[in-house]
Amino acid sequence: MKLKQVAAQLYTIRDHLKTPADVAASLKKVSDIGYQAVQISGMGPIDESELVKILDGEGLVCCATHEDTQTLLDDPNAVIDRLKKLDCTYTAYPYPSGVELNSLDDVKSFAARLDSSGSVLADAGITLAYHNHHIEFRRFDDELMLDVIYSHTDKRHLQGEIDTYWVQYGGGDPAAWCRKLDGRLPLLHMKDYAVMPDLTVTFAEIGSGNLNWHEIVHTAQGSGCQWYIVEQDECQHDPFESLKISFDYIRNNLIE
């Protein structure tokens, strides 16, 4: 992993991205930490041209986005238009909201819709990836939902954005899933998993939890990962400080 491949998922600082002025100030802080790329998500309304100007001014690349789930499934051409404006070639389906997933047939139907949208995006040079949570580790007829999603889609139309925390939370092995998606893992969400004194589990900065980052990164590299994206859904610290703690750990311990 190279330092230039490490990105900040902006959902982490979503409360600081409400207005264009907020976006400009926040992206400067992200750049000052040392990040050279970001994944766009959780942002208030801003014209793509203004966003690109801010990104360029801070020397940041838009490595990927999360887009509205319904738009991804029903109007992939709108996603294409947006990503072309951002000069971005990766997007991810963030969460199956509003989708019925109560049977194996439901999951197969959902996978077919993902495959169809991914085909349209692929024809335009854009890669659709799937971002998992723990719900995809539910079993149907002894098959994990996440396995069904990948086995019923063409890898040309749907790639992976493995989220390490949610794999662990769902009872899976993050490194094993990176290995399973060999050749199908352009994006990785780096998110640590910590056990608190009250025995609850929570999101943690990279290196502050229990995940084996050397194994995860090594395996992701072997599977062709292009972007290592730091995200923290909830932070115990100021979110910018959390992004810095994670970045510093990665720079000092995981960079080639």
Give tens-digit pLDDT for 172-229. Answer: 999 999 999 999 999 999 999 999 999 999 999 999 999 999 999 999 999 999 999 9
pLDDT score of 256 more than 90: no
Q: Give pLDDT, residue 254.
A: 98
pLDDT category, 171, cuts 50, 70, 90? very high
Q: Please, are residues 65 and 88 in contact by the beta-carbon 8 Å criterion?
A: yes
pLDDT level of residue 230 (50, 70, 90 thresholds): very high
Query: What are the pLDDT digits (tens) for 126-143?
Result: 999 999 999 999 999 999
106: buried, middle or exposed (CB in 10 Å: 19+, 13-18, 0-12)? Answer: middle
Q: How many CA atoms lie within 13 A of 40 on its CB side?
A: 29
Residue 204, phi then psi, degrees to nearest 5: -145, 160
Write the pLDDT tens digit of every residue in 99-133.
999 999 999 999 999 999 999 999 999 999 999 99
Residue 162, both tokens: 């493995």
pLDDT of residue 67: 98
Mean pLDDT of 62-91: 98
Whether the predicted model's global pTM rises above the 0.95 cut: yes
- Give residue-wise pLDDT tens across range 28-63: 999 999 999 999 999 999 999 999 999 999 999 999
pLDDT interval class at 17 (50, 70, 90) = very high
Q: Which has the closest alpha carbon to 94: 233, 245, 239, 250?
A: 233
